[in-house]
Amino acid sequence: MTAYAELAAHFGRISALSNALGVLHWDHAAVMPKGAAETRAESVAQLEVLKHGMLVDARLGDWLDEAEADDGLGAWERANLREIRRIWTVETALPSDLVAASSKATSACEMAWRQARADSDFKSLLPLLTQVLVLQREIGRAKGEKLGLSPYDALLNDYEPGGRSAAIDVAFDDLAAFLPAFTEEALAAQARRPALPALDGPFPVEKQRALGLKMMEALGFDFARGRLDVSTHPFCGGADNDVRITTRYDEADFTSALMGVLHETGHALYEQGRPQAYMSQPVGAARGMSLHESQSLLVEMQACRSREFIGFAAPLMREAFGGSGPAWEPETMWRRYTKVARGFIRVDADEVTYPAHVILRYRLEKALIAGDADLADLPALWANGMRELLGVTPPDDARGCLQDIHWPSGGWGYFPTYTLGAMTAAQLFDSAVRAEPDALPGIARGDFRPLLAWLRENVHEQASLLTTDELLTRATGRPLDAGVFKAHLARRYLDAA
């Protein structure tokens, strides 16, 4: 066997473990009885230990050196080696006592966070969150040394390979300068229109589910390789060729669960569209979190909150729930689905105000990792940032700096990918509808095939062959450009309002 073949076989075995873990994770969230929690934790921990052991296998370094010297490899094989080296470098960067200390600190902090959030008491969380932060700095430093990156960029790199804060700063500063005034304008435009009539429920879960399934089918979700289920926190997970999305239903309001299904379907289409030949190899994985989020937001924000899609979907909603009256008119439904409101909570935000929530968190976590901000000042820094970026002041910590699980659970460097994803989505969608003249008319008749064909070719089937920048440049003619996102917002919230 060549060194490349050894590596490919080895990572195929690792993928078999990852797929098992993916199904166990879905099971835990969607169907597992509560009393199984301890048993499950032991199974998952054992599989993680075995997987980690395979990722730091002593033979990998030699295989990599030998395979990288092999000049008979094609582009996919070379890209696979690049990904394997990145994963191996990161996985071997940390001493095992640092991994253990961080795992212990985050699980203690995550537990304390649930209570602190319920009590809206940041101070009680401060000692444990400080431990997490100190360890995250160490992790960032250790990885950064191996990768030649700053600690923050090294953390970011785990979620967004190739992502750099210098570039994010430029894009986010641009948005931060644009959004406050724009939000004012969008709200003013909205205020000139009549109030939205109420949608009277209840909307039975079974009917919501049936409608969600119908929409997933229209979008091109492959049910032979996936499922729709229920969980408290919606996600897209599962395994290769076994892509499982979840939602949660509210019988008083169907609109949010339905749009949640469409959002997760965007993630799922990416996963289902990855190339079969490399499905179990690192190069066959989704490129990074910003591209992943771009696929969910392209479906949700760009395609499914368009007038075209709502024109198709509103009659199906009315039919599904036996609705009648002006609340069910496509134009009214479109206005409901494009409503802008300043709020305190990121996950409830609309696409105009969402970036402010993300920019705030990105700036804070970058400063905290660099030691340029003091964690004890977080509530005040949070309130200042919210006022500056969004013009609101959170009434308490629960609706402020305690609302997200990311920091307590060790997810530092993740936040910027949400808004990078939104910008990427706008840019890809803009190119898709130019390249495929039938993409928008297709959406208007519930036929996503023209759009999906473009996404398959330009994004999904590329998997991790290229860097994110290369992929975007090839697909749209240029690297990430905040201008397309701003133009999209202006068209939807000023011109079209």
Residue list for the binding site for Zn(2+): 263, 267, 293
Instruction: Please check whether residue 405 is in contact with residue 113, taking contact to mean a CB–CB distance below 8 angstroms.
Output: yes
Show the tokens assigned to 208: 């919501």
Nearer to its own copies, 37 or 347 (CB): 37
For residue 54, report the phi and psi dihedrals to the nearest 5 degrees: -70, -30
Residue 33: φ, ψ to 5°: -70, 145
Q: Which of 6, 24, 66, 473 binds its own copies (CB under 8 A)?
A: 24
| Ramachandran bin of 238, using left for φ above 0, alpha for ψ from -120 to 50, beta for the remaining angles | left
User: Which is nearer to its own copies, 47 or 383 (by Cβ)?
Assistant: 47
| Number of residues this chain uses to bind its own copies (CB under 8 A) | 38
Q: What are phi and psi of 244, to 5 degrees?
A: -115, 120
Instruction: Pick the closer one to its own copies by CB: 38 or 71.
Output: 38
264 carries an active-site annotation:
yes
With respect to its own copies, which residue has the nearer C-beta, 31 or 100? 31
In whole angstroms, the minimum distance from the beta carbon of 417 to its own copies comes to 26
Q: Which helix (H) or strand (E) holds 245?
A: strand 242-247
Under the binding rule (CB under 8 A), the answer on residue 115 touching its own copies is: no
Contact string 26-65 vs its own copies (x = CB under 8 A) = -x---xxxxxx-xxx-xxxxxx--x---------------
| Residue 239 or 297 having the CB closest to its own copies | 239
Cα–Cα distance for residue pair 415/346, rounded to 1 Å: 11
Count of other CB atoms within 10 angstroms of residue 246: 22
Kindly give the pairing relationship between strand 242-247 and strand 226-230: parallel
Read off the tokens for 488: 């999209």
User: Are 263 and 297 spatial neighbours (Cβ–Cβ below 8 Å)?
Assistant: yes
Residue number, 51 or 488, with CB nearest to its own copies: 51
Q: Least distance (Å) from its own copies to the CB of residue 130?
A: 33
Listed residue (192, 179, 216, 227) closest to 349, CA to CA: 179
Least Cβ distance, residue 17 to its own copies (angstroms): 6
Order of strands, edge to edge, in the sheet holding 242-247?
A: 226-230, 242-247, 236-239
Binding-site members are 263, 267, 293
Query: Which of 276/393 has CB closer to its own copies?
Result: 276
Selected from 157, 165, 246, 280, the binder of its own copies by CB under 8 A is 280
Q: Compute the CA torsion angle 372, 413, 355, 489 (nearest 10 deg).
A: 130
From candidates 6, 10, 19, 99, binder to its own copies by CB under 8 A: 19
CB of 108 to its own copies, least distance (A): 22
Least Å from the CB of residue 401 to its own copies: 35
Of 77, 83, 160, 264, which one is the catalytic site residue?
264
Looking at residue 415, what DSSP letter applies?
T
Compute the least distance from the CB of residue 262 to its own copies, in Å: 20
Cβ–Cβ contacts within 10 Å for residue 352, how many? 22
Across-strand partners of 228?
Answer: 245
Residues ≥6 apart with Cβ < 8 Å to 132: 102, 105, 106, 109, 407, 408, 410
For the CB of residue 249, give the shortest distance to its own copies in the complex, in Å: 17
- Interacting stretch for its own copies, rule CB under 8 A, among 11-19, 82-90, 187-195, 263-271? 11-19
For residue 475, which amino acid is it? A
Q: How far apart are CA 152 and CA 358, in angstroms?
A: 16
Positions in 219-248 near its own copies (CB under 8 A)? 222-227, 239-242
Binding residue for its own copies, selected from 9, 12, 70, 341, defined by CB under 8 A: 12
* Footprint of its own copies on 251-270 (CB under 8 A): none
Is the Cβ–Cβ distance between 137 and 443 less than 8 Å?
A: no
Name the residues that contact its own copies, by CB under 8 A: 12-13, 15-17, 19-20, 23-24, 27, 31-36, 38-40, 42-47, 50, 222-227, 239-242, 279-280
For the annotated catalytic residues, the residue numbers are 264
